[in-house]
Amino acid sequence: MNALAQRAQRAAAVAAQHADAVDREGRFPAEAVAALKAERLLGLQIPSQFEGEGAGLRQVAVVCSTLGQACSNAAMVFAMHHIKVASLVAHGLDSAWHCQLMERIAREQLLVASSTTEAGIGGDLRTSFCAVEAEDGVFSLGKDASVISYGRQADLILATARRHPDAAGSDQVLVALLADQIFLERTSVWDTLGMRGTCSDGFRLEARGLPVAQILPKPFAEIAAQSMLAASHLLWSSVWFGIANAAVDRARAFVQGEARRQPGQVPPTALRLAEVSNTLQALRSAIVAALVRYEDVQGDADAIGSIGFAVMLNNLKTTASEMAVDIVQRALAIVGLAGYKNGTPFSLGRPLRDVLSAPLMIGNDRILANTAKLLLVQKGGGQLMSA
């Protein structure tokens, strides 16, 4: 096992220890995040000139899946943090303020959260109501953020807003707000079926008199298309793979236990295990293929901004989220009541509840509708190894 895998395993061991309590109490996975900081994993993607490790999404994805096997909440917090960091790394290099910020993230292991969702616009992250109001080099921002995952626990929030009060809803910028620069008033509580520890409460966010240098120079439209879409779908899928993988591990252990009790016979559940391991492999292949394609187009803005690439990422999200749910459900069918019951070595209630969020976070119908529009012009004819 390489050094990064070992660091991820150590953090995952801490996450696993507290996963049930985090879920039961609907609280932030504080121990796991402390372990991630201790292992210096929050700065993984930050370029080495800013004291990070310059890792790519492939390495981050591996950590996401390792964590996903232990605690979905810790894994999703880690994924969301790195989705934001991916945008900073891709689009912050020509801004001195954001370069300094990257250095701080690596050095102080700052946890980064995201505020895109806003009251009244639903989940359409490419539209904002709120607007940056800038004057004499400083700006103010007030936002009815209907969801900010771990907003209270984050050291830094990257928030979308319209560029100025007269700008169109889609003319957005991304602003970096340090926790000690803003006022957050909680407006709704995240009490959910699963993913309870992401603490995705709603907030009224207020920021006053902050330097305009904290606004990322690139339009958010470009940030969303060039880095966020890919990072989100690749890292979320890796978390879901981790959850599904752990569920299949439990089903496998269950089937093997049955086999040991009845030597000479193949338990009937083994056939179901064979089926689900097949689906798990297909899920893994889909994610790995997308990661490879992502790496292939790095540095090629045209390829990243192409319709074919967006369709590929959309397809990954809808496919991976559905497969992950299917896999955990099938694992539960293999294990039976021992999986339905909490507190057994084969319990699957928590992972099942957690993974049910996968098709809903950016709803699959919304993504399919977007893909449908893109397919109106895509010509197809892709080859096995290239599309």
Q: At a CB cut-off of 8 Å and minimum separation 6, what does 227 contact? A: 86, 87, 89, 90, 91
* Residue number with CB closer to another protein (53 or 171): 171
CB of 220 to another protein, least distance (A): 10
* Residue number with CB closer to another protein (124 or 206): 124
Q: Is 319 near another protein (CB under 8 A)?
A: no
**183-242 residues near another protein, rule: CB under 8 A:** 219, 221-222, 225
CB of 162 to another protein, least distance (A): 11
DSSP 8-state secondary structure symbol assigned to residue 43 = G
* Residue number with CB closer to another protein (260 or 373): 373
Q: Is 301 near another protein (CB under 8 A)?
A: yes
Q: Is 373 near another protein (CB under 8 A)?
A: yes
CB of 156 to another protein, least distance (A): 26
**76-135 residues near another protein, rule: CB under 8 A:** 126
Residue 208 half-sphere exposure toward CB, CA atoms < 13 A: 3
Q: Which of 282, 278, 268 is nearest to 334 (CA)?
A: 268
How would you class 357 by CB atoms within 10 Å of its CB: exposed for 0-12, middle for 13-18, buried for 19 or more? buried
* Buried residues in 311-328 as b, exposed as e (16+ CB within 10 A): bbbbbbbbbbbebbbbbb
* Residue number with CB closer to another protein (16 or 307): 307
Binding mask 323-362 for another protein (x = CB under 8 A): ----------------------------------------
Instruction: Identify residue 193 by its one-letter amino acid code.
Output: L
* Residue number with CB closer to another protein (51 or 222): 222
Helix (H, G, I), strand (E, B) or coil at 363: coil
For another protein, which stretch binds (CB under 8 A), given 238-246, 269-277, 284-292, 378-386? 378-386
Residue from 120, 264, 343, 380 touching another protein (CB under 8 A): that is 380
**5-34 residues near another protein, rule: CB under 8 A:** none
CB of 163 to another protein, least distance (A): 9
CB of 295 to another protein, least distance (A): 19
Q: Is 374 near another protein (CB under 8 A)?
A: yes
Q: Is 379 near another protein (CB under 8 A)?
A: yes
Question: Are residues 334 and 251 in contact, defined by beta-carbon separation less than 8 angstroms?
Answer: yes
Q: Is 384 near another protein (CB under 8 A)?
A: no
148 vs 186: CA distance, rounded Å: 10
CA dihedral 87, 92, 94, 95 (to 10 degrees): 160
Residue from 307, 333, 338, 360 touching another protein (CB under 8 A): that is 307
CB of 311 to another protein, least distance (A): 10
Residue from 53, 171, 206, 322 touching another protein (CB under 8 A): that is 171
Q: Is 315 near another protein (CB under 8 A)?
A: no
42 vs 103: CA distance, rounded Å: 12
For residue 99, how far is the Cα from the chain centroid? Answer: 23
Distances in Å between the alpha carbon of 32 and those of 25, 28, 71, 171? 15, 9, 9, 37
Residue from 137, 211, 305, 345 touching another protein (CB under 8 A): that is 305
For residue 144, how far is the Cα from the chain centroid? Answer: 22
Q: At a CB cut-off of 8 Å and minimum separation 6, what does 128 contact? A: 118, 121, 160, 161, 162, 169, 172
Residue from 6, 49, 100, 170 touching another protein (CB under 8 A): that is 170
Residue from 120, 264, 299, 381 touching another protein (CB under 8 A): that is 381
364 vs 212: CA distance, rounded Å: 36
Q: Which residues bind another protein (CB under 8 A)?
A: 126, 168, 170-171, 219, 221-222, 225, 301-303, 305-308, 310, 370, 373-374, 376-382
